[in-house]
């Protein structure tokens, strides 16, 4: 019976760890979403041609 109790306890610990992992993942996803910059708010890249000045 002792071995079975240890297995149940280990299984419960793994469940708790998995739940904590999922909660941390959700927090990171929520943080990333709040810091995300929508495409509409980004500027279009403009080529920088200053490097050509020395080639002429």
- Give the distance, in angstroms, between the CA of residue 7 and the centroid of all CA atoms in the same chain: 32
**In this predicted model, what pLDDT tens digit does every residue of 14-43 receive, in sequence order?**
999 999 999 999 999 999 999 888 777 777
Question: What integer pLDDT is reported at residue 1 of this predicted model?
Answer: 53
Q: Stretch 1-23: mean pLDDT, rounded?
A: 85
Residue 49 pLDDT more than 80?
no
Delimit the domains of the chain by residue range.
2-43
- Cα separation, 22 vs 14, in Å, equals 12
Question: What integer pLDDT is reported at residue 46 of this predicted model?
Answer: 66
Task: Return the structure tokens found at 23.
Answer: 């909660």
CA angle 51, 55, 56 (to 5 degrees): 120
């Amino acid at each position: 019976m002792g071995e079975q109790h240890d297995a149940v306890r280990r299984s419960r610990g793994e469940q708790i760890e998995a739940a904590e992992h999922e909660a941390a993942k959700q927090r990171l996803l929520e943080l990333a979403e709040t810091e995300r910059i929508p495409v509409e708010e980004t500027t279009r890249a403009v080529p920088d041609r200053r490097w050509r000045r020395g080639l002429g």
